Structure 1
Amino acid sequence: MAWPAATTLTSLLVLLITLAACSSSRIIVTTQAPFGRILKAVKLHGGYMEVIQEQRCSHGLLRLTCRSLKAFIFILQAEYHANHTELCLKEKNLEELRMWEHKGSTRRWIDMRELKGNYILDDEDNKADVVDIRSSLNKRCSGQKHCRYNATIDQPGAHSWIPGEILLKYACIPEAAVKRYCNQEVKVTIGEGGYINTPGYPLYYLGQSACGWTFRTFPGQRIVLIFHDLNIRGPQMDGSCVDIVRVRDRGSTLFEFCGTAAGTRIVSNSNVLTLDFVASRRLYSARGFLLQYQALGCPEILAPNGSYVSNGTLTSRTFSCKSGSVFPDSKERKRTLECKNGKWNETTTKLPACVGRIQAFVRQYQNRTECHRYLWLPIEGTFFPLGEHGGESHFGEGSNRDIKAQSISQAK
């Protein structure tokens, strides 16, 4: 007869333990993002490139995967945000980390309840709340078809970080869309950039032979190179480079580097850019590099008939009509187009050709009995009626120039 009471007591104990567990502070480590993936496809010459954006907890395992077996991963963006803790912690536990968020700490996570008395935070605790982790992600994932990444293990110093958000954006690019051969001339046009990686990427790179590329675009435009992943032999003890990547613009050096970098962006000053990769060994066990190239500016536009380009920059183009002619719609000799977001502010296919400054315009008048057509002559922005009464008219009494016009009357 005592069994029901024992059962009731056991149930009560289980309930109390469950409530205590639910009320305790704990970190939710998950590999599934609460927000769905954002996918978009970018059309390239070798197929479609998928771009994936995710938000994950920094203290969980990240899995990067390409759906196509003929594509590989490269990292576009990877940032750790210490102030975004909602992915890792329950809402009621956010107060526990609020003091650390205000202090800007990304170095250590200490239970503030265990601290007693006065204390002073170290200088290293006052670092930025956003950390770029592309280099460590490149090491694990770039060039692979799928990979696993754990920030607390793969990112130096991340084991002491407060659990926060990792904002990740990566692409799966078709192998056929990437140029893999050295010593090529690459034509770059607006809206049609491309990608290049060194032979052997991401397992190794080759040396002891010339390896370079020349990029060309239209005059008035510039070229942008973005090294999404750059990993070659680092500098020597004296700071010199044995292997080196060098970018030049008509003889002027814009970039020289050896070692590891991610997201480095170089913009040319002209429409020609040269990239040289010099390596000493025949084969070296580093990834090499993967870069993206594109043109900066608006599409090339031809001067309308009867005009020429009098001034051209990256953001504007000015056309001037030849002497004695103007653009018919504006009656001006010059016309300037502005380049914004890769597009001209006017439809370039509809630019009018220049016409003579002195030309006839026909105006029609109609009264009760007849319609008169008058010839008007634009002289410095003013129109003068000619032949108003059907006869000859002289412009300027005593002038050496006689401008004659015959009015035409038409019965209604």
Structure 2
Amino acid sequence: MKLNLPSLALCSLLLLWNAVDAFAQSNNTYSTKGWFGPPPPPFSPVVAPDRHITFRLKAPQASSVQLVFGEWDLRPQAMQRDTAGTWQLTIDPVAPGIYAYNFLVNGVQMPDMNNPETKSGTQLYASIVQVPGNRPRFDERQQVPHGILQTLHYQSTALQRLRGLRVYLPPGYFEQPARRYPVLYLRHGGGDDENSWTQPAGSADVILENLIASNKAVPMIIVMTNGLIDGTWAGGSSPEGVKALQQELLTDVIPLVEKTYHTLPGRDNRAIAGLSMGGGQSMLIGLRNLDRFAWIGEFSSGLLSDKDFKIDEAWPGIVNSSLNEKLHLLWIGCGTKDPRIPGHQDLVHALSQRGVRYEYVTVTGGHEWYVWRVELKGLLEKLFKTPVVYDQAVQLRDEQ
């Protein structure tokens, strides 16, 4: 078949013309008008200058909504519904701080879906609201030099699987490559994970950099590992679990950290501490490895508070006055309203009977993050400073 080139060209031109005409006749209603106005006011939570807090939830189908505010001594408070189906409650002024809260909607707990700041670990626990004061809080991010958070992954020899850890590097780390730093291995509690200490509820990185800026703490690296072996606090507290976590820390984590970062060598430059489940792990692992750690701390450990806990079974032949020559600091802390406080009192009494030097610290509160933030601040102020000034019984409080 013979192609007629002029006819082919004419057909192509007609097709192109029809396409252009089709675009010219499109009915485009898309508009960006109205995008660039001022942002709407916050919906929930709203912190007033006098530190009243207003909480709101849109739930037109709900028959009842309550606010559960705080972490300890929880008392649900009824919220009121308006004609549009929005529930609201304004609570009395609170002290400056970091607070957790949830809603109970028809008896079912849920976070505040209008608030992206949350407390999470093995599950999503609560929403978080921060209340400022007349001056910056010790656990509030301030206009100071900031550090860097990094994530590392490694193969756990003991658990035979890939695991993650978080590392906090202090301000100026990369600007001073010749400088080396001591390391705090900081452990979380049951139900949390390696990220929990650097979430708003923990704020370990924020607390440290504020202390460094005010010359109250030594610049240090903080390493936060996962203290769960099977997703439960019981697994992380069992003898088998602690043994596996000890092997993981000594065999995998410490070598990885010291290979990757500018660390100071030796036990004098390593500390281990933790809260609740992690507090028990820290004490057990630390005192069993005094060739690795010269600074040990625990906050609110349930394992050490148990009425059947036996020092000589946990640390055979270790806990006696000879510890005073090996440890720069043994820190023991608990909230005054925590049911673990009697066990802590028994523990420090037993240490005194054995001639062991320690720092016993209490904070007004229960088994909650407020207590642990205050405890951490006090511990950080003493770590890697020698000689350590001991106060064998002291109560700490939020400076606000």
**Greater fraction helix:** 2
Structure of larger gyration radius = 1
**Do both share a fold (TM > 0.5)?**
no
